[in-house]
Amino acid sequence: MDYEFLRDVTGQVVVKFSMGHEAIGHWINEELKGDLNILDQIEAAAAELKGSERQWQLAGHEYTLLLDSEEVMIRANQLEFESDEMEEGMNYYDEESLSFCGVEDFLAALQAYRNFMLNH
């Protein structure tokens, strides 16, 4: 999972993630928007979930984060389709709307984001 942090012309931090993990970048750009308090909540939830079977969810305006002790899922809220509307043999392109990654990799990316926010 590769990612990069940039500042746009307005000074806003923009995050881009590699193919297959684009939804993580979109989630950071749309839901976090530099709010380090949300990062604190996620890190605390990950620590509480470690070694358990429980899950934790953070629903946002555009994306929802679902966290368990091993994996993170970020899904666009609009990604709820009716399965009977699909034609046979067809599937939705959802690479930019759904991403999975391990908790440790996700927390490392969030720490890198925090460091970028504070130091650049």
Q: Where are the domains of the chain?
A: 3-82+95-119
pLDDT for 96 equals 77
120 falls in which pLDDT band (50, 70, 90)? confident
Global confidence as pTM: 0.85
87 falls in which pLDDT band (50, 70, 90)? low
Average confidence score pLDDT of the chain: 89
DSSP secondary structure string for all residues of the chain: --EEEEE-TTS-EEEEE-TT-HHHHHHIIIIITT-HHHHHHHHHHHHHHTTSS--EEEE-SSEEEEE-SSEEEEEETT----GGGSPTT-----TTTEEEEEHHHHHHHHHHHHHHHHH-
Mean pLDDT for 67-81 is 89
